[in-house]
Amino acid sequence: MDQWLIENLVCPCHKGNLSVADTKLICEHGCKFPVVDGVPVMLLRDARQTMGLAKKSLEQGEAGSKGGSLYLDTLGISPQEKLGILDLIKKHGNTVDPVVSYLIAATNGIAYKSQVGKLREYPIPDLRLPDSNGSLFLDLGCNWGRWSIAAARKGYKAVGIDPSLGAVMAAKRAAASLGSNAVFLVGDARYLPFRTASVDQVFSYSVLQHFSREDASLTTAEIGRVLKADGSSLIQMPTKFGIRCLYHQARRGFKDGEGFEVRYWSPAALGRLFDMNIGKTTLSVDCYFGIGLQHSDLALMPVPLKGAVIASELLRRLSEVFPPLVYLADSVYVTSRKT
């Protein structure tokens, strides 16, 4: 297991120290957490899970190491997609992990559906943070690890956490194939298994938007707890007033989301939430015309979407000159600094 994890992991329930016994981590109150192929599974069995696949991760984690199993039941994909992954495995010469090739749509929006099962390179995005010399970067809801790998390339000590055991294992394989030192574990963003004030930078993309208002508050409070003094967070969130976001809200009668549906926030509400739980907060544009469009992925986009990606990037740059444009963005970055 990674040395930083050994020194900084705590029980996500009691926040106390952990001891190692065989392939388990045990807290002084008796909580036990399995370690599968070097990956700690730090989910709480008694907690209400934000995703059904977390229960599968718990079951398969507690069953012990599967010796390289893909843990397909923890991925939240269809039976047809599972068969597609197995078919890709049979084909030699894949340059991209087969699981990543099928997770690409779920992790990066419907604009990437044309790449499902056909991905030829890992789409590592441009992380809008300065280079680092070993600062601790925590990626909440890392899935297959693209943002963690992007952070490691910028010099951060990257740690990714996600409730899907299969996605975390795919992240571990992808990082290894790219020569990245990013490390991963299974866990819940509402109950972070890290020591207080142990993290320099918290990041999350396309995760908190799926949480209820209550769970988003729990998560931002946990972000504030694990951040060091003067540490910062960069969290992507959708807004109520973007063109694409208004379309999706209208389709469901402007009702708040349920289950894993996206919740749309006003910029003012985002400011209040993050100010209260972390510190001084500002908003900047991530993209327009969708949630998740990345200009760095332009080459992967089908022709009809290239125009939207280019227009989104032009508007984003214009927003740096004319800040009120942030209120019309579909996706924003919420930047908070712990005070």
Average pLDDT over residues 198-217: 96
On whether the CB atoms of residues 219 and 140 are closer than 8 A, the answer is yes
- What pLDDT is stored for residue 231 in this prediction? 97
pLDDT band at 23, cuts 50/70/90? Answer: confident
**For the CA atoms of 235, 302, 154, 37, what is the dihedral angle to 10 degrees?**
80
- What pLDDT is stored for residue 67 in this prediction? 46
Give the CATH class of 194-338.
Answer: alpha beta
C-alpha 36: how far from chain center? 20
- What pLDDT is stored for residue 304 in this prediction? 83
SS3 content of the chain, % helix, strand, coil (to 5): 40, 20, 40
pLDDT band at 328, cuts 50/70/90? Answer: very high
Distance separating alpha carbons of residues 203 and 266, to the nearest angstrom: 20
- What pLDDT is stored for residue 142 in this prediction? 96
Domain ranges, ordered by start, for the chain: 194-338
Average pLDDT over residues 227-250: 95
pLDDT band at 274, cuts 50/70/90? Answer: very high
Distance separating alpha carbons of residues 260 and 116, to the nearest angstrom: 21
> What is the dihedral sign for C-alpha 51, 52, 58, 63?
negative
Average pLDDT over residues 42-70: 83
Per-position DSSP letters for 49-115, written without gaps between them: PSSTHHHHHHHHHHT---SS---GGGS---HHHHHHHHHHHHSTT-SS-HHHHHHHHHHH-GGGGGG
pLDDT at 85 over 70: yes
> What is the percent of the chain where pLDDT is above 70?
98
Judged by average pLDDT, the poorest of 94-108, 157-171, 285-299 is 94-108
Rg (CA), the chain: 19
- What pLDDT is stored for residue 207 in this prediction? 94
**For the CA atoms of 86, 90, 93, 95, what is the dihedral angle to 10 degrees?**
10
On whether the CB atoms of residues 291 and 109 are closer than 8 A, the answer is yes
Per the structure block, which two tokens stand in for 270? 């985002």
pLDDT at 299 over 90: no
- What pLDDT is stored for residue 65 in this prediction? 57
Q: What is the mean pLDDT of the chain?
A: 92
What are the tens digits of pLDDT across the range 86-118? 999 888 777 899 999 999 887 766 678 888 888
